[in-house]
Amino acid sequence: MAQRSASTEQDAWIGVRASRHSPNGHVPGDATTPRGIEPHQAIVVGAGSAGLAAAVALQERGFETIVIEKSDTVAASWRSRYAELRLNSWRPMSKLQGPGIPRSCGRYPSRDDVVRYLESFARRHAIELRFRTELLGMNRDNEFWRLETSSRSMRCRYLVIATGWDTVPVMPSWPRAASFGKELIHSSEFRSAAAYRGRDILVVGAGNSGLDIASHLVRAGARVTLSVRTPPNLAAREVLRLPGQPLLVYFGDHVPGAVADAIFRAVQRLTFGDLTRYGIPRSAIGVYANYREHRRNPAVDDGFIAALKRGTARAVGTVERFAGGEVVLDGGNRLRPDAVICATGYRRGLEALVGHLGVLGDDGVPIHHGGSDHPRAPRLYFCGMWGPFSGQIRLGPIHARRIARAATIDRKMRYRVSSGV
Ligand SMILES: Cc1cc2nc3c(=O)[nH]c(=O)nc-3n(C[C@H](O)[C@H](O)[C@H](O)COP(=O)(O)OP(=O)(O)OC[C@H]3O[C@@H](n4cnc5c(N)ncnc54)[C@H](O)[C@@H]3O)c2cc1C
């Protein structure tokens, strides 16, 4: 475990002070910090893959850096995900700085492999971690950032927000949902397919999570119905036994959008055929156009479409409302599932933390990310807070390097100004 936190929070504070700070609790060279506020050069918020990558990039450039994390462990998001989950991004494209997840974990490592990898990454790089410390609010304090956390006030010059892309579950609000009286959960609460064996399950949403959960449920012996509102751009995990993700990324980067969309459509047709009669019509928008315009990624199939064709699963239209123990679809058809799992996505949840700074777009996504900071919020960076085509894990170290480079330039400029160069 990468947990450096001692048995009590106080011990953890003492450990950090002893190792990094002068006896009066100040970062060396900073004589301006008010009493009671813990100073750092750089603070990273969130000990997921993006936050850990940012901490290492900053450390390597010589910044005194601490990661604060609201839970009591690294990789909290991955730990909380369902037991059957495997990466749908290819292992070599799902790594942080340095060695990746071991080859022995296969092309698509399991949830537990990812957790072990992040733990050993944090340990190998001796990242300074402060658990049970939630960022509650922040503001400019002259040239610094002042943070209010669940344990105390902190201050830093460089602040990196890495609180995750899939943060706040989005749950549809259907009329009379409360009358259902059976299990109605968001996919973030789904723990294991095994618990659903032999039951009728309605999965709502045909994105990555919906398709993945549906295929695990089929394998576990559940009777699965998938509710499809927007037909997805389906991608096979492997094409001719080659991983699909690098091909998708390659075409996206090197081929004009319209041509790449046409190639993808042809591959999709060859792989899956026409699925209209199975309840999944062709997507109205090409895969690359969909990403450009709506930042929506293709949905990776790992067996659900085969189940659909075999008749062991089915796809239906949009849920309109609930009526007692029944689900009423658009058009009036009714289902009587034992449980409903809503794979209806997430929001970033940044409004409460940084909304007042004017750094978010209308969609709640930071306007600037990676090494670019908003003119209204200098030296405030967002790491991994963007929906990339090539996977969120891969994005972390890319952003992290850019952030560390930007902070280094700022430090040089400051040195020049203060020394009159
Ligand atoms: C089901 C599912 C499958 C996925 N599969 C893949 C995949 O195969 N490949 C891929 O690349 N991506 C995948 N993703 C995307 C996923 O977002 C990334 O894998 C990864 O978790 C992102 O890392 P992160 O560090 O940005 O966010 P997270 O891992 O979510 O880490 C954010 C951390 O910040 C902490 N935090 C949040 N708010 C605060 C606060 N206010 N104060 C202090 N700490 C805070 C959280 O506790 C958490 O530990 C998947 C997502 C889901 C939901």
Give 114-125 pLDDT, tens digit per residue. Answer: 999 999 999 999
3, 70, 118, 399: which to mutate for ligand 1, most atoms within 8 A of CB? Answer: 70
- Please report the pLDDT score of residue 30 as a whole number: 56
- Please report the pLDDT score of residue 302 as a whole number: 87
Q: How far is Cα 206 from Cα 56, in angstroms, rounded to an integer?
A: 36
- Please report the pLDDT score of residue 421 as a whole number: 57
What's the token pair of residue 83? Answer: 């037991």
Q: Between these two residues, 80 and 293, which has the higher pLDDT value?
A: 80
- Phi/psi for 59 (5° steps) reads -55, -45
The rounded Å distance from CA 220 to ligand 1 centre is 26
The arithmetic mean of pLDDT across residues 138-163, rounded, is 96
The residues lining ligand 1, judged by C-beta closer than 6 Å to any ligand atom, are: 45-51, 68-71, 76-78, 81, 85, 87-89, 94, 134-135, 162-166, 209, 384, 391-394
For ligand 1, atom 31: residue with the closest CA: 48
List of domains in the chain:
2-167+348-419 (3.50.50.60), 169-343 (3.50.50.60)
Q: pLDDT by residue (tens digit) across 34-54?
A: 778 999 999 999 999 999 999
Residue 158 pLDDT grade (very low, low, confident, very high; cuts 50, 70, 90)? very high
For ligand 1, atom 1: residue with the closest CA: 209
On the question of pLDDT at 12 being above 50, the answer is no
On the question of pLDDT at 23 being above 50, the answer is no
- Please report the pLDDT score of residue 9 as a whole number: 32
- Report percent pLDDT > 90 for the chain: 81
On the question of pLDDT at 17 being above 80, the answer is no
Q: 396, exposed or middle or buried, with CB in 10 Å at 0-12, 13-18, 19+?
A: buried
Q: pLDDT by residue (tens digit) across 49-61?
A: 999 999 999 999 9
Q: pLDDT by residue (tens digit) across 341-367?
A: 999 999 999 999 999 999 999 999 999
Residue 414 pLDDT grade (very low, low, confident, very high; cuts 50, 70, 90)? confident
For ligand 1, atom 38: residue with the closest CA: 163
Ligand 1 atom at minimal distance to the Cα of residue 94: 11
Ligand 1 atom at minimal distance to the Cα of residue 167: 30
- Report percent pLDDT > 70 for the chain: 92
Residue 244 pLDDT grade (very low, low, confident, very high; cuts 50, 70, 90)? confident
49, 302, 385: which to mutate for ligand 1, most atoms within 8 A of CB? Answer: 49
pTM of the predicted model as reported, rounded to 2 decimal places: 0.91
Q: How far is Cα 5 from Cα 12, in angstroms, rounded to an integer?
A: 5
The arithmetic mean of pLDDT across residues 84-98, rounded, is 96
On the question of pLDDT at 4 being above 60, the answer is no
101, 163, 208, 209: which to mutate for ligand 1, most atoms within 8 A of CB? Answer: 163
Ligand 1 atom at minimal distance to the Cα of residue 209: 1
On the question of pLDDT at 26 being above 70, the answer is no
Question: What's the whole-number average pLDDT of the chain?
Answer: 90
Ligand 1 atom at minimal distance to the Cα of residue 166: 17
